[in-house]
Amino acid sequence: DPFDPGHVVDFDVIAPVSAEVDSFDVPAGWTWAPLISWGDPILPGAPDFDFENQTAEAQLGQFGYNNDYTTIVPLQDPNRALLVCNNEYTNEELMFRDWVDAQSATDEQLRISLAAHGMSVVELRRADADSPWGYVRGSDFNRRITPMTPMRFTGPAAGAKALRTEADPQGRTPVGTFGNCAGGTTPWGTVLSGEENFNGYFSSPEVEGGQSDRYSVYGSGGRAWERVEPRFSAENEPNEANRFGWIVEVDPSDPTSTPRKHTAMGRMKHEGATVSLAADGRVVSYMGDDERFEYLYKFVSKRTYREGDRKHNMRLLEDGDLYVAVFEGDGIEDERYDGRGRWVQLTRGGRSVVPGMSIDQVLVNTRAAADVVGATKMDRPEDVERNPVNGRVYVACTNNTRRGTLGQPGVDEANPRPLNKDGHVVEIVEARDDAAATTFSWNLVLVCGDPEDQSTYFGGFDPAQVSPISCPDNVAFDTTGNLWISTDGNTLGSNDGLYEVVVDGPNRGQVRQFLSVPTGAETCGPVIADDGRTVFVAVQHPGEVDGATIDDPASTFPYDGTGQPRPSVVQVRRA
């Protein structure tokens, strides 16, 4: 009999909710409540959130904006834990009254926005295993990590010329992080965070606004941070942008620890990084570069994981080899999108194996290195994670509406749809089921969209019996190995949501919608906890709709009476 995992999260599927309807919807028999919201005080002495009287000083002690990656790191006491969240970016039009643009913002508003970026670490407690979690205001564990937090580079490119600035002539001590999108939690209890859309934060006088150069300083994102932090002007500090676009490792158990940016893992628009162990105990991290026609990567550590030796494990991501994926299809005559693939090595033992590129070039301009070796241009690879139950690796390719358009790459079997507006999910089977393998087989388990659209595919399951799903972004797993997908940018006229996808057994490909987030929001985070009785989701950018302002909001989530939307981490529990 094929293994049938069943459904560890017990719920009745919900119907899609129209994008016009501002509500947060969970299945019958389930309840939800915000666990923490933008502006909630976390550090000792931080004031209560006061929407009308925001200050940068207050924000530095409060939960950041636009919670994305969310993880719960256990502490010894099962009723205590650490919540770690990425605070990816800010929606100033929803934060400040009468907002026009960054150019006309006050310096204090710019500093508030800066302070609302980065990450938040917050202690959680509950009375017992059957009680909801709450956050602990003023806990010694609580921490804000911001664009101003001192950090350290590790690995072969630490100290590289391209990383040196006037403030850091050694090129080893970058300051801050932002654009933190997805992430991963390591077996040794640290959190990895991907610096994704870092490009929009640097003003560049030579480049017109919005004109992006794929490799270096991009056009001004219009955030005007250079007015309060001169290093964000490319004219003042051309190398500053090179100090972002990395994977950051944070130890949430030590609020005094210095976050590290691991150069061995390459530089790109890092969506995130998740870790798994190879057959021989080396640590393998899977990473997507979320931009149209960018690549899928993995990092394999030099040394092996040692259970219980935290000091040793803390350094595993500093030293190892970087690979990029090449997908080869076997043709569509078999009526399946599938084939074989190779992980092509970019670095070996701290040296470049890319013709014509130094190790510093490969690690700082990783996209260029992947171009040289002919990696496969993907439809915006977002979260990538290995299923701890079946060992296969799942890649959310969120969408790519330029695929097959004039002057752009056409379709291939791994990215088979032109004008791919709804995305797809790749399933990778590593050779010998070993995460360190250099070859794999693959197939598309989902081609997303309206099930009535003939171009969709649901793992062989009856399309008449699945929930429509569009723009997969984050992936997670429950204890039986079912895949959970949160979405960003639903094109089907519905709000985004969280979906359970069966990937093994007779119901493979069955997609069931679990919850729906408010108008304008993206579903992030998901954590399936307590054997399926609790689900955490991060509701990011509620009310982010063209033309919306706080005086005319498209969403007032979490409906706390303030009338303004506030990004929040939500705890969903079975009643």
- Give contact residues for ligand FEO (rule: CB under 6 A): 88, 181, 196, 271, 290, 382, 473
Using CA atoms, how far apart are residues 387 and 526, in angstroms rounded to an integer? 14
Cβ at position 179, least distance to ligand FEO in Å: 8
The answer to whether 494 and 468 are in contact (CB under 8 A) is yes
3-state secondary structure of 369: helix
* Closer residue to Ca ion, CB minimum distance, 301 or 376: 376
Closest residue by beta carbon to Ca ion: 488
- In eight-state DSSP terms, residue 188 is T
User: Nearest Cα to 411, choosing from 345, 355, 327?
Assistant: 327
Q: Which stretch binds Ca ion (CB under 5 A): 232-240, 251-259, 466-474, 550-558?
A: 466-474
* Closer residue to ligand FEO, CB minimum distance, 380 or 508: 380
Interface mask (CB under 5 A) for Ca ion, residues 336-355, using x and -?
Answer: x-x-----------------
Q: Which stretch binds Ca ion (CB under 5 A): 90-98, 156-164, 273-281, 329-337?
A: 329-337
Q: Quick one: what does residue 336 bind among ligand FEO, Ca ion, none, with the CB cut-off 5 to 8 Å set by partner type? A: Ca ion
* Closer residue to ligand FEO, CB minimum distance, 56 or 384: 384
Residue 416 tokens, joined: 């088979």
| Phi, psi of 359, rounded to the nearest 5 degrees | -60, -40
Q: Which stretch binds Ca ion (CB under 5 A): 133-141, 367-375, 488-496, 499-507?
A: 488-496
Cβ at position 523, least distance to Ca ion in Å: 10
Cβ at position 439, least distance to ligand FEO in Å: 27
Q: Is the dihedral of CA 453, 451, 571, 259 positive or negative?
A: negative
- What residues pair up with 294 in beta bridges, in sequence order? 378
Cβ at position 221, least distance to ligand FEO in Å: 14
Tokens 């241009």 identify what position? 377
The answer to whether 496 and 537 are in contact (CB under 8 A) is no
State the amino acid at position 135 in one-letter form: Y
Cβ at position 473, least distance to ligand FEO in Å: 6
The answer to whether 83 and 121 are in contact (CB under 8 A) is yes
* Closer residue to ligand FEO, CB minimum distance, 398 or 482: 398
Using CA atoms, how far apart are residues 419 and 398, in angstroms rounded to an integer? 12
* Closer residue to ligand FEO, CB minimum distance, 382 or 430: 382
Q: Quick one: what does residue 196 bind among ligand FEO, Ca ion, none, with the CB cut-off 5 to 8 Å set by partner type? A: ligand FEO
- Regarding 379 and contact with Ca ion (CB under 5 A), the answer is no
- Regarding 254 and contact with Ca ion (CB under 5 A), the answer is no
Q: Quick one: what does residue 360 bind among Ca ion, ligand FEO, none, with the CB cut-off 5 to 8 Å set by partner type? A: none
Using CA atoms, how far apart are residues 323 and 391, in angstroms rounded to an integer? 19
* Closer residue to ligand FEO, CB minimum distance, 88 or 338: 88
* Closer residue to Ca ion, CB minimum distance, 235 or 334: 334
* Closer residue to Ca ion, CB minimum distance, 249 or 496: 496
The answer to whether 9 and 479 are in contact (CB under 8 A) is no
- Regarding 414 and contact with Ca ion (CB under 5 A), the answer is no
Q: Quick one: what does residue 496 bind among ligand FEO, Ca ion, none, with the CB cut-off 5 to 8 Å set by partner type? A: none
* Closer residue to ligand FEO, CB minimum distance, 22 or 271: 271
Q: Which stretch binds Ca ion (CB under 5 A): 141-149, 211-219, 315-323, 332-340?
A: 332-340
User: Nearest Cα to 25, choosing from 529, 467, 474, 549?
Assistant: 467
Cβ at position 27, least distance to Ca ion in Å: 24
The DSSP code sequence of 397-449 is E--BTTTTSTTS---BTTB--TTBSS-EEEEEEEGGG-TT-SEEEEEEEEE-B
Helix ranges (DSSP H) in 52-194: 56-60, 92-95, 107-116
Using CA atoms, how far apart are residues 472 and 497, in angstroms rounded to an integer? 10
User: Nearest Cα to 574, choosing from 49, 76, 172, 26?
Assistant: 26
Using CA atoms, how far apart are residues 456 and 94, in angstroms rounded to an integer? 36
Using CA atoms, how far apart are residues 298 and 329, in angstroms rounded to an integer? 20
Residue 498 CB coordination number (10 Å):
25
**Ranges within 170-199 binding Ca ion (CB under 5 A):** 181
The answer to whether 572 and 515 are in contact (CB under 8 A) is yes
Q: Quick one: what does residue 528 bind among ligand FEO, Ca ion, none, with the CB cut-off 5 to 8 Å set by partner type? A: none
Tokens 């976390």 identify what position? 42
Cβ at position 305, least distance to Ca ion in Å: 27
Q: Quick one: what does residue 195 bind among Ca ion, ligand FEO, none, with the CB cut-off 5 to 8 Å set by partner type? A: none
* Closer residue to ligand FEO, CB minimum distance, 266 or 459: 266
Residue 455 tokens, joined: 């171009």
- Regarding 294 and contact with Ca ion (CB under 5 A), the answer is no
Q: Quick one: what does residue 338 bind among ligand FEO, Ca ion, none, with the CB cut-off 5 to 8 Å set by partner type? A: Ca ion
- Regarding 88 and contact with Ca ion (CB under 5 A), the answer is no
Instruction: Select the residue interacting with Ca ion from 48, 108, 166, 334 (CB under 5 A).
Output: 334
Where do contacts with Ca ion occur on this chain (CB under 5 A)? 181, 330, 334, 336, 338, 382, 473, 488
